[in-house]
Structure 1
């Protein structure tokens, strides 16, 4: 069996080999005689039977006698030939399978069918048969998928499928990450707003841009001054205004060494800024520039000759160190619209310039309690207590010693503003803190100190028993030297060469100091013995007497005029000499030449006095008056002069060095410098709360008088100004500028007298009882009724009496009469009763007289006769039927004056005017206006729309006199 199987297998293998050989034969030479074609079939030549299996015959592959179309192995045949094409979802080339679904030879196939080489298939983009990234027919594809036609994809902007920009410009527009820019963006140093170059001014990233570029000039933006890209720093002028940093300059500044004052960006001259009561005893005057001390502190009979406030007595005028604040003590504790006047005061910088006269009103009541402002150590046992304002009582003070015992303290050196408190050093420990307690200290307005009691702590130090010593002696002038100690001391004595000298603390108004100025009567020169004695430290320890030979050197250097020029002061010409050190007044000699019309001549020498300017304290400036010096005042002549003197000397008595001065003389033209002051101006109210008149004493310059910025009412610029004459300006206020009826200040400034070169300073005029100028408005307008009737007449109440002597029966008050039927009354036979025949009521008759009531009317019967009858009926007043009129009700924003012209308003339906009622057409009650129409409004008129309009005679006003604010086009009526 096994052998049989083996043989069969061998035979099968031999047969298989034969079949395979036939199938893959590459030549058909033997097949040409073995096979033939019969009826299109491959058959055996001998038997004529169809050949089974695969046979290649004449280069054509047959299967079961038919030309093969299909696969033979992995090779594709069509009609027996190796073919190119699709078969069963695969694509073959010359019989060889190339692709089922995928790319072959730069084409994309699906189940063997070619779909696309380059282009779209199933909405996907292929290039060379592969999913591609790129542009095709105006669209952009990524890995075959369409992403964008025109628009943004992946941070880039595409147009017709092509990327044109990521971040940058396209057609002059800025794109950021493929999108049109929004907001501000800096690109290549240019600023863009949204997608285009920025226009105008804008701050971006803390820098100012002007258009697309960084600003590089002075410019105003958002109300602030910018210098380049940043806000301005310091004082700077732009156009016609001055700025301090970014804002309009207000206040006083030093520019190039010169004090300059500004108000709202405009340079102004020296003036009084304000006058205020700072407490119950002090008034403060504030100047905008430093003023001269002697001028400001001038007094007459102990009172200030510069400042007056009503009838108060102002004493002790004290100018601050910076020269801008003058403080005065007043005998008044409060003011009620007191008139304030500040007389002209010389300025510190130029004694020839004064502040203009100032006037205003002052109202003040002190309700602020004083406090302890600060303390200063006087010495180891004494502390100085300084109050926030003057006080009228020093109070009661005490402290507790180291043993717990309480000690009263009597203050020393009380001067209203301060006092000194001392302890017994034997009762306290060095290094401890003593607390002084004070009570019942009040200011001039009787405000008690807060807190009350008040406490002051004082740290106890050891007594300074180290005597003061001299640190240095320094010559500072021809007759002056300074002595400096190692600590603060009190004044002692100094002699120079045995002669007493003047000694004063270097610090102005001080009583103690570390440095003292010594002034001698003779010029300091050569070695001199300086003796110093009597100076003590603050704890009273005296210095050791001091004596030293000091080598002084006479200042042999002549004073030199560092500036010489021609100046004009109050219409007069002066040669002004400014020296490098203090000099004395004295006569000077002037000589030199003058040239006019190209001819040079010698000027005859003249001697003229040189004097300090008024109120000068520097002693470094001299003025040489040229008045009457004809040779020095030839018009249009050019002068080249020398000024010399032996009389003008330094404090070391060295004569001045001669100096040159050159000038061209011009005739002084007396300019018109008239200015308006307080008494030249009157401000008055008018019947219109929004209009004021300002009357000037002289004709005004029209341009300055009609500038709205020159007038302020309640601190605000007015709406408009017009001149009604050459002296009268009419001010129209802004609506609502006066919100509450009361007294308001009207400030007038910078108005010129006609023909004058100077503008006035601010004058403030109070106007009492100015009425609020908030115009009433219509809040609502409603057709509240459309009923209409003529109404009916009233009938008077009456009483009908009959069947008797009607003079016997009389009716009383008919006011409350009611209608009743005719009723018969019968007098009894004895004449003592009257019976109501209708209801049997009996009425008593006394002496022939009786009373009864019918229809709420009281009837009186006189002299009733027995068996007499009479009848009575009453008729009440009928209720009047009021005529009805259609009404429109307007609600105003505030209460209105009830008096109104009956033609003040008109009612329109569309463009048709409607008739109003003949009587009481317009009635005002509080804030309500009622308009009555003559007839009912029709549907057509309602459809046209109702409007209430004002007429030319509109006199509807609020109680302050403000006219109703209703536009000419009217107000629409709701229904």
Structure 2
């Protein structure tokens, strides 16, 4: 629904408000209530008269779509003037003024003392932000306690351009007394290659001045924390390494108590660890509708003429091909310092190696991409399915049609999706959970279209021997995307599928119990057909005429069986007798697991 999946600008076509009477609503933004039931839409311009309101593409949490809303709505013009409804003293020197509605501009604000003399410029500040209903005023330490300051607001307007009433309006503020306790610096802590925090004993009236080795840090580089009003993050102009003198000065608390200038030697450690790629994803750019490989690192990175060279393979129609492309441009993300992007059209080369629908497995080697401390990022790997450029991001959501264990191989479980799926997410083993079994890897089969419907199967490869019992299982599947979509699937759960155990039987012992007989003991009851199972070896070698035998177990499961062999003499016994499994061996347990014979079986006496 939202461009950033949270709030603000909408995805294209979700909400449109078109004026019928030529009173444009302007850009739209929105916010969803905490319970997810109320969507508040904000228009950039004041609305009045008739509008065609269209709401489409909104879905419930369960993935079901709401019916499209397409109606003509009449909005009454806002003619009510805003007013000041309250003034609250937050501390000795800060006051919050609340208006009856959000205002788009505060107009002109002047300050005078109670005796009518003007307050010097900068001795009172306010933090007005457009389209808010609250403004905080701060009486700085230049104003003595007990002093009364009268703020006069002229020309404030609401979002419909209605002027404040009365206009002008006044606010009276009385500076509180000093609280008797001066603020102090509690701690200075390194937080990154170029950042550290300064913690104070209490909230300050304004940002402090911070210097590193005698040079003041730029004002914009000292930022108060959004959740802890006593904490400030400082960004140094260069990488922090070794002993530095950190000076903190020019600060006072909300009551006006002035803190003593503080100087401290802090030993910083240069971050020598290389950034690693934490995740990769194919995204469709909202501007050019082209596909990009988006890589997210485990820490902030810098891009200085960044390049990436790829080598690897891609698979299309069961055919594996190789690819090598050097020095493709890497671009930093505009908002997230951990993210970089690479244009797939450039990364994958010409039409012989840039193939729509192919699944790529690439090794990435970077140049010009480093940590904030200048350490070159580590090489990485990426797996994804190539979509088509020029096609806007899809909102399709994949669904699971069936989950069925393979009919002939208990180590495989086939998950059928109702459409083609993204290779990177569909082959991520972490997206599949089967209670009592381990999904070791996932193989994605080609999408198949029949009778106008497309399906695609992901084969879950279970770790051999990890599924120890036959029975129904809890199976959970999540985070798989439809091919070319930006949306992950709704979590899927089933507990109706019966899975057969996949513990392969083995030969526990093989004993020569007669000159023409070997007795085999198995780890569990096994069955057999008529195909030849073993070759009898002497001294580890085939005999002059290869001797091939069958267990002759039949359709009744047994744990021991006597295998008839050609007569052996003392010489053959001395040289050593062993059994080699043949390609035709068909011994299996009741669940269908084939006998495991990792090496030749030594026959003992």
| Larger RCO (CA under 8 A, 6+ residues apart) | 2
Confirm or deny a common fold (TM above 0.5): no
Identify the TM-score tier after normalising by the shorter chain: 0.3 to 0.5
